[in-house]
Amino acid sequence: MTARGITRAILLALAVASCQRVVIEGGGAPLPFEGRSLLGIPLAAPEIEPERLEELRANYAEAHAAYDADPSSEDAAIWLGRRLAYLGRYRDAIDVYTLALRQHPESYRLRRHRGHRYISVRRIDDAIVELTRAAELARGVPDEVEPDGAPNALGVPRSTLQSNIHYHLGLAQYLAGDFEGALETYRTGIEYSRVNDDMLVATSHWLWMTLARLGREDEARAVLEPIREDMQILENSGYHECLLLRKGLRSPEDVLDAAAGEIDFASRAYGVALGHLISGDRERAFELFREIVAGEIWMAFGYIAAEAELARER
């Protein structure tokens, strides 16, 4: 066997050994905690409703079987990591992506997913490095729709590879307080996000807040020009409503009262709070930031952003 063949065999053995650690029948038990919040609080794996947990474990078992059949498959590793993450096992998902990257070091797809999960576990600096590399590797690559792991009500995938890379990179930079960097990333990402209204409002939401924080009011207003009430929104209604708030078509109460669940509330409440912060009402803004982090759905981006605001005030 050649040296290259020996190296490949070792990598495959490492991948199998690792998955024997993270893959336990029925989905396995979560680690004691997945990381620490930006406020230093341990983040325990979320509880999942029994019916939903059964479905997630079945999906996980299918992904595990596909990975077992071909541990060298980039696609199988991505889906194993995604299914672990849906179970709240973000650190195990990161481990799967890390091992797969030993075999596929130029994979922008693996780096896009690992970068996303670095954000989940609050490894923000690592996320910026990872997603920057993903963007570099994917430069010039034709965009493609990403299949859904958690489909919307119509089962219509909305996000794409390029829009997701730039969306998550911009978010990581925003969370780190690098608003100039986030602006550059979102300006690139907005072009990919015109693929449909869901992606357009998602990127526009964070782009507007980035510009507003930088005091670039005219440019922030320009972001709102294509935003309409009759957009086809299947997933990002919270972001859409926040943008309509910026246009004067909703009140803060309208936006918050329409929240459907904790994740949606975190998205909406952060957007409303940021508006208060920009307008100078810091008391109301921080009241909402604290209300967001009092919830339990700590993987929501609005939740992480509220943590970042509170952490910067320490």
Residue 155 pLDDT: 84
- pTM equals 0.90
| CATH, range 158-234 | 1.25.40
Tokens 């990381």 sit on residue: 35
Please answer whether residues 127 and 119 qualify as being in contact, where contact means their C-beta atoms are separated by less than 8 angstroms: yes
53 pLDDT above the threshold of 70:
yes
Which is it for the CA torsion 83, 303, 188, 136, positive or negative? negative
Q: What is the mean pLDDT of residues 113-119?
A: 98
Q: State pLDDT tens for residues 192-237.
A: 999 999 999 999 999 999 999 999 999 999 999 999 999 999 999 9
Neighbouring C-beta atoms of residue 68, cutoff 10 Å: 14
Neighbouring C-beta atoms of residue 232, cutoff 10 Å: 9
Q: What is the mean pLDDT of residues 100-106?
A: 98
Angle between helix axes 262-279 and 237-246 (nearest 10 degrees) is 20
Determine the 3-state secondary structure of 160 from DSSP: strand
Q: State pLDDT tens for residues 250-278.
A: 999 999 999 999 999 999 999 999 999 99
Residue 193 pLDDT: 97
Q: How far is CA 68 from CA 27, 64, 81, in A?
A: 15, 6, 13
Q: Where are the domains of the chain?
A: 158-234
Please answer whether residues 313 and 283 qualify as being in contact, where contact means their C-beta atoms are separated by less than 8 angstroms: no
* Torsion on CA atoms 104, 137, 119, 283, rounded to nearest 10: 180
